[in-house]
Amino acid sequence: MIPFSERRHCVALSKEQEESPLTVKTSEVRSTAARARAEASFKKEERAKDGALAMMEYLANARMVRERTERLRALRLAKEEADKEEADKDREVPADGKKSKGAKKR
């Protein structure tokens, strides 16, 4: 029990004053929860943006690889065709029936 001398200095609180600490705590909890939801939403949007950017980079790299492969394939086929024509020229028999000097037996 509180001694009489200390009771004198106590002030009776109204009902609103008694509830205010609880109300403050509740609003703090609500604002904290709202902040957490906002941060989660922001992080989700950032992940979606990062994912979209990564997909664009992936598709761009895939397109570059395909273009480079097509170019190299065309160069390889042209070289093979030129080599084949050169080999055919070397194997041709002249019109007079003699073998050309460049042709060898294998």
**Structural domain boundaries of the chain?**
23-86
CB 90 within 8 A of CB 100: yes
User: For the segment 6-61, what is each residue's pLDDT rounded down to a tens digit?
Assistant: 555 555 555 555 555 555 578 888 889 999 999 999 999 999 999 999 999 999 99
- Burial label for 95, CB within 10 Å (0-12, 13-18, 19+), is exposed
pTM beyond 0.95: the answer is no
Joined tokens for residue 106:
């294998």
Q: Cβ of 88: how many Cβ atoms within 10 Å?
A: 9
